[in-house]
C-alpha cells in the first residue's frame, strides 16, 4: 500500500482537481463492477446450463476482484469507501430487476453484453483522461482488457449457441 501511495505523490504533487477526478473515476469503475457482479450472480441463478452457471459465477467473482483492486487505489488517496454502499444498493436493485427480466437465456446474454459495453465505456473514459497516475492507469488498462475478453466470450457463446444445452 505504501508503494501505491509513493507512486501517487512522489513524482509531482497532484493538483486538487486531478485528485478529485481520479477519485471520481475510481468510484465510477467500482460502481460498474458492483453492477457487473450482481448481474452475473443473477444470470447464474437464472440459467439452467451448469457450464453457464459456473462461467457467470466466475465473471461475478472477477468483477469483485476488480473492485478490490480499485478500492486499494481509493484507499491510497485517503478516501473513505463508505459511499460504496450506494453502488451496492444499485447493484442489488439491478439483481432483483434482472431476476424478472431474464425471460430467456438469450436475454441473459444480451443484458450481460450490454452491461459490459457500459463498463468498457467507463473504463475508456478513465483511460482517455490523463489524470490517473501511471501505475493506476496500467491497472485500469489491464482491467479494461479483462472486461473486453469477457464481452468477446459472451458474444462468442451467444453466437455458437453453447447455452442451448440444458442441464437436467
pLDDT digits (tens, 9 = 90+) for 64-93: 999 999 988 888 776 655 444 555 565 565
From CA 127, how far away is CA 145, in angstroms rounded?
A: 12
Among 26-30, 45-49, 80-84, 157-161, name the one with the lowest average pLDDT.
80-84
Among 64-68, 73-77, 107-111, 153-157, name the one with the lowest average pLDDT.
73-77
Judge: domain 16-164, CATH 1.20.80.10: no
pLDDT tier for residue 136 given thresholds of 50, 70 and 90: confident
pLDDT tier for residue 22 given thresholds of 50, 70 and 90: confident
Q: What is the pTM assigned to this prediction?
A: 0.75
Q: Residue 168's pLDDT is what? A: 35
Whether the Cβ atoms of residue 155 and residue 110 lie closer than 8 Å to each other: no
**pLDDT above 70: residue 4:** no
Q: Residue 59's pLDDT is what? A: 97
Among 54-58, 95-99, 156-160, name the one with the lowest average pLDDT.
95-99
Q: Residue 107's pLDDT is what? A: 80
Show the cell assigned to 161.
Answer: 449457441
The residue with greater pLDDT, 56 or 3, is 56
Average pLDDT of every residue of the chain: 78
Q: Look at the block and give the residue holding cell 501505491.
A: 4
**pLDDT above 60: residue 120:** yes
Whether the Cβ atoms of residue 150 and residue 62 lie closer than 8 Å to each other: yes
Whether the Cβ atoms of residue 28 and residue 41 lie closer than 8 Å to each other: no
Phi and psi at 166, nearest 5°, equal -85, 145
Cα–Cα–Cα angle for 151, 153, 159, nearest 5°? 105
pLDDT tier for residue 119 given thresholds of 50, 70 and 90: very high
Amino acid at each position: 500500500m505504501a508503494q501505491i501511495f509513493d507512486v501517487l505523490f512522489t513524482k509531482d504533487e497532484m493538483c486538487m482537481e486531478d485528485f478529485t477526478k481520479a477519485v471520481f473515476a475510481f468510484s465510477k469503475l467500482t460502481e460498474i463492477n458492483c453492477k457487473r457482479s450482481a448481474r452475473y450472480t443473477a444470470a447464474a441463478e437464472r440459467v439452467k446450463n451448469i457450464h453457464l452457471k459456473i462461467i457467470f459465477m466466475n465473471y461475478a467473482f472477477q468483477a469483485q476482484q476488480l473492485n478490490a483492486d480499485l478500492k486499494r487505489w481509493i484507499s491510497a488517496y485517503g478516501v473513505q469507501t463508505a459511499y460504496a454502499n450506494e453502488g451496492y444498493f444499485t447493484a442489488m436493485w439491478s439483481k432483483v430487476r434482472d431476476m424478472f427480466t431474464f425471460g430467456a437465456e438469450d436475454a441473459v446474454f444480451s443484458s450481460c453484453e450490454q452491461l459490459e459495453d457500459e463498463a468498457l465505456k467507463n473504463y475508456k473514459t478513465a483511460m482517455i483522461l490523463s489524470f490517473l497516475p501511471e501505475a493506476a492507469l496500467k491497472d485500469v488498462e489491464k482491467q479494461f482488457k479483462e472486461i473486453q475478453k469477457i464481452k468477446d466470450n459472451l458474444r462468442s457463446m451467444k453466437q455458437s449457441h453453447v447455452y442451448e444445452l440444458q442441464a437436467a
